[in-house]
Structure 1
Amino acid sequence: MNRAGAPRLLSRLARFVGVGGTGFLADAGVLSVLVAAGLDPLPARLASILFALTVTWQLNRRITFGLSGRGTSREFAHYLSLGAISSLVNYAVYAGVLASGLSASPLLALAAGSAVAMAVTFVGLDRIVFRAR
């Protein structure tokens, strides 16, 4: 990468982290409500992931990466495909942390899973989903 591209990448990364933080709050909020309502943390997490993916797609396309030029339906399909991959990584870490006993807190396990999946998501969004056509 040349020097001119580094500030652009850092700016995009900063916006991505901000959007991700918003997605994390949306995810954690839905997860907290569902667990407080008595739902088991594992299925509750599946619902919270889908909600967070929808929120972050809308924000990433407007704030971080811009429109892909593929059309809304196709772009969302690509986003969901990448989201499924990164969510599997996220969920595996989440479930692993809970099963290992490292933490009994669903929110701490959520934070660990989200942190691991973030790198996979950024590269996939930048190189595949929102790549300029």
Structure 2
Amino acid sequence: MRFIQRRAGLAVALVLLFGGAGVVQAVPTQAAASTEVHGTGLLPSSFRWSSTGMVVSPKSHAAHDLVAIKDPSVVHCNGRWHVFASTVDKSGNYSMVYLNFTDWSKAGSTTCTRCRGATSTC
């Protein structure tokens, strides 16, 4: 406790000695308004969508009769795609699966690992 009191006393003495000259304050300033316009801000009048078809589909096994795999979270790291996704079975039970692969063309044939430990093919 005596050490803390000495430090506090030293801090007060320094502020009194230097009058706060060493104190740095950061005061936010308003940025200048930009007058540069990027594009028109209008959306195109038509859109086109293309799909490769189903990339991963639910495949059931003895313990889980899956009807859907959805809501993927995808990360690319060290040359592999890592995917976490939700699954739902015929009884309405949800679970999570993890799969990884190097090429999206192999995604449908990779093994899914249920986050509880059981495995099945996606």
TM-score normalised by structure 2 residue count: 0.25
Q: Choose between structure 1 and 2 for higher RCO, CA contacts under 8 A separated by at least 6 residues.
A: 1
Point out the structure with max Rg over C-alpha.
Answer: 2
TM-score scaled by length of structure 1: 0.24
Q: Between Structure 1 and Structure 2, which shows a larger proportion of strand residues?
A: 2
